[in-house]
Amino acid sequence: MDEKITKLQEIIDGSRSLVFFGGAGVSTESGIPDFRSANGIYNQKIKREVSPEEMISHTYYERFPEEFFEFYKSKLIYPDAEPNACHKALARMEEKGILKAVVTQNIDGLHQKAGSRNVFELHGSVLRNYCERCRKFYDVNAVLEAPSVPRCSCGGRIKPDVVLYEESLDSDVMENAIRAIAAADTLIIGGTSLVVYPAAGLIRYFRGNHLVLINKSQTAQDVCADLVIHEAIGEVFSRLSI
């Protein structure tokens, strides 16, 4: 582990255009679990076999909005979560001019809370919500404090600015993420198994010098990386001098 931390430090110190691409494992150390772990108890309550993926799909949102928002509010929003060592280190790297962008699959806004500014949220954010009728913006409290389905003052339904299953990723966000990765000399991928597409496919745009993978478990891309660390990403970043 020590040798790998030393090598990672050398790679970061030698980088001038670093991009970080992260997944759920970045936020689990802030107390935000992978939503897939929430399956069993909720199925017992609604007396239907529904996977978490189905529950946060566009179809489920349209057909069963009350159940959707109950699940969404209890399992996907963590307003008290705080940035961990990884979030904070990335923000410091951006401040120093080393890190050019964060590309994230997470929807919790913790990168921005830590101080990162150039963040591309592939799957949106729970912190942004809008009325489907008049497009008025609402913060996360409008959803959390609603007794059931949140409604706008105009009567329209308030929808989270989160990419649900069956919905397409925002094309502008994707283009910006691709552009950042393509221009990077180092790409650090952390806290993701690289199985969720199309986000996982972004790795193919990297043509830089160093590809680093940090994840607790193996990924299919481990063989392509210059450095692979199978440890908790917060622990890894806490040992770096940044």
pLDDT, tens only, 174-209: 999 999 999 999 999 999 988 777 777 899 999 999
Angstrom distance (rounded) from CA 239 to CA 242: 9
pLDDT at 130: 98
Q: Looking at residue 216, what DSSP letter applies?
A: S
What pLDDT shows up at residue 48? 62
- Number of Cβ within a 10 Å radius of residue 110: 23
Look-up of token digits 């069993």? 40
pLDDT the model gives residue 194: 84
pLDDT score at 42:
45
The domains found in the chain, sorted by start residue, are: 2-32+81-123+168-238 (3.40.50.1220), 35-75 (no CATH), 129-162 (no CATH)
Mean pLDDT of 89-102: 97
Q: Which of 58, 87, 111, 123 is catalytic?
A: 123
Q: How many CB atoms lie within 10 A of CB 46?
A: 13
Concerning whether 123 is annotated as a catalytic residue, the answer is: yes
Kindly report, residue by residue over 8-34, the tens digit of the pLDDT. Answer: 999 999 999 999 999 999 999 999 987
Kindly state the helix (H) or strand (E) to which residue 187 belongs, with its residue range.
strand 186-190
Long-range contacts of 67-74 (CB under 8 A, 24+ apart): 69/143, 69/146, 69/148, 69/149, 69/150, 70/148, 71/38, 71/42, 72/143, 72/160, 73/143, 73/144, 74/38
Confidence of residue 44 (pLDDT cuts 50, 70, 90): very low
